[in-house]
Chain A
Amino acid sequence: MAAADYYQNADRLFARKRLFGFAVPAVILAYLVYVFFAFDILGLAERARMENARVLISDMYSHKVLVTRDNRNGEISYSVEGERKGDYPEGQRPTWVLGEETQTISVDLDGGLVAHFLPGNELRVDVPDFGPVEARMDGRAVVTNLDPNNLPEWVSLSWSRLDVTLPDGRVTFTRNKTEAFNYFIGWELFFFTLSSPYHGHGVFSILFGEQIDPTRSNIAGAWNDFWGNPMWRHSEVAWAIFETLLMAFLGTMGAAIIALPLAFLAAKNFTPLGPIRFAVRRVFDFIRGVDSLIFTIILSRAFGPGVLTGTLAILITDTGTFGKMFSESLENVDKKQIEGIESTGAKTIQRYRFGVIPQVTPIFLSQILFSLESSTRSATIIGATTGGGIGLLLTQAIYTQKDWEEVTYYIILVILLVMLMDQFSGWLRHKLIGKKD
């Protein structure tokens, strides 16, 4: 009888576990299906611009050199990334451009793809395995030798614009200008722009070679041109990283200083007075409830955008977190040590100083250092919304939607920064407290 009961019990338990085992994945799956429709994933496939993705990825590791003819005055210019800062100096041009500028120039875009800028604002592009694509302006309209009803997939043609996009390069033709884009691997102007005499020289020839610029010593001149590189703005980037670190450091440390005394007020064993404890705890809850986003908005109204605003936003947010964590650790302190100090006739302050602080210092330090790393990441994010630090540079570069190589560079810097902070705080914790984690 008893055995049968046990069997029945066991069977029921098994049935319940089996049901549970199927129910949990089923609920998760049902939820994912709901989200699939709620987020309109199917519509996303249509909205997604894979063209953008291609531009982004190719920009990340390569750069383009533009040959532009202004069709109104026939002037031809050469520049890296099509930016003024990347212009070739007067009288210089890439070696893959041939011909007289007043007559015809031929731009060799590799792989047999050659764009000929002909007189009279005409254009001929020799496409391998296809033949020539010819274009000219007739009034305001583009006239080509292509059959508009049977265009190759690499051509986009409209009334006012011809666009030939191939893996080796790209040619566009409008009434105002003719442009040829040639793509190369690498970040060409990372160290020096074309206006610097040190462009194209290796480290060795700068350090040990002949003097390149007669007015400056090699090392000083090269450093000066590198640091002031107008395209990559290394000095500004370094300063931005410093600002981000400053926000994280000041915010975290300031929060710890403010949270420490408040935590005593919120701990049960140090503040027997219920109402005070309740009030302080609700303050902490409130601060953690009002998101850092909202603090950022309020603070930037008062102080304007900048580093201080970011610092204060981190400070306030972290105060709520630290207050909660500190008061929890304070509630777990060992009473005996305090009683021992008290038995020697110590006053309240002395009891805290010698009975409590030594016990909680390692815990607090480890919590502070631990959040230093996450504050670095928050500083990037807050910097992006209030302005300041590497976060601002990053979002600006993303919003311009063309300098993806700079975006890549900043992302790498941010990741290195956060990882370094992680390592550093772990190391410091190890040094100060003598154990890992």
Chain B
Amino acid sequence: MTDMSTASIQSNYMEMVRRKRLYGGAALSLFALVMVSGFMLADSRNAGGFWQGIPNIFDFPRDVWKDTLPKLDQLPSHFATYFPSLIETINIAAVSTLLGSMLAILLSLFATRGLAKYPALIGPVRRIMDILRAFPEIVIALVLIFILGGGPVPAMIAIAFHTAGSLGKLFSEVNENADLKPIEGLSSVGATWTQRMWLGVIPQVAPNYFSYAILRFEINIRASAILGFVGAGGIGYELKNAMSWGQGKYDDAAAIFILLFATIVVFDQLSSYVRDRLISKGGH
């Protein structure tokens, strides 16, 4: 009797395992098929094929290396030349992070249940944030370049908009976890909405806001370098120019590569250090 049921349990279990394996295997092979055919399609739609291109992948780094090596002594002066545009790139990122987070704080307070001044606006404000987030920076930047001319301002506005959208979402998630008791206390003594938010919510959530904003700043440095490449000023613009001078003059490009790389690594490390400190201090 017991034997029977053990056997049936075992067979049931094996049956289940087999079915699960079958499904898993089918899903996995479907995935593999999609990946392979996708890559083949992408390969066929490319100007040069993958297998022809793979031996050349280090051609460009080698060219840059060859151009730079004999002029190694000029690198410091190149660094000095391009340092101002690097500062501009960092400024673009910093200002857009600053303005974007201010807008994000406002949007997030309007989009959080329990805090919103006008609860009816929660849905629309969230949709606005979705749209701001979905706008690729490059689009806003290019359109603004058409109107405002080249320079840092189009990039700044473009990145600020995107930052407002993505930080707004993160901030409103932080707000949802905020303790409502200080707000109730403040409203019991007759504080206005602005006072309740400023004195009751912001002090609670500021460390988390700051941590997200720092992370965003790091992302925005990359974004502002890319936008420079399409004409929005900063180091990206210089890189594009240096690249267009062609072979034999890549030493400028090499200097810019190094500057950009160093900047990103420094800010990457800095941001993770600051965020670690914030978290270990009990930010959340």
Contacts and interface: CB of A to CB of B under 8 A. Distances in A.
B42 A56 contact: no
Nearest to A49: B147
Given A48-B149, A56-B146, A307 B229 contact: no
A49 B149 contact: yes
A53 interface: yes
B43 A38 contact: no
A302 B54 contact: yes
Contacts of B197: none
A304 B46 contact: yes
Max count, chain B CB within 10 A of own CB: residue among A56, A303, A385:
A303
Given A49-B148, A294-B260, 13 more contacts: A48-B147, A249-B38, A250-B39, A290-B261, A291-B225, A298-B60, A303-B48, A304-B53, A305-B47, A308-B43, A308-B45, A309-B46, A395-B138
B196 interface: no
Most chain B beta-carbon neighbours within 10 Å: one of A38, A56, A294, A411? A294
B158 to A, nearest CB: 11
A289 B42 CA distance: 26
B91 interface: yes
Contacts of B148: 44, 47-49
Contacts of A249: 38
28 contacts: A32-B98, A35-B91, A39-B156, A47-B148, A48-B148, A49-B147, A52-B146, A56-B143, A246-B41, A250-B35, A285-B268, A291-B261, A291-B264, A292-B226, A303-B50, A304-B53, A305-B47, A307-B42, A307-B46, A308-B46, A385-B229, A387-B47, A398-B146, A407-B143, A414-B134, A415-B134, A422-B134, A437-B173
Nearest to A388: B45
Interface in A274-332: 285, 288-294, 297-299, 301-309, 311
Given A47-B148, A302-B48, A414 B265 contact: no
B35 A254 contact: yes
B259 to A, nearest CB: 12
A6 interface: no
A88 to B, nearest CB: 30
A238 interface: no
Interface string A123-162: 0000000000000000000000000000000000000000
A385 to B, nearest CB: 6
B88 A38 contact: yes
A40 interface: yes
A419 B35 contact: no
A178 B136 CA distance: 40
A243 interface: yes
Given A39-B153, A53-B147, A56-B147, A381 B138 contact: yes
A380 B138 contact: yes
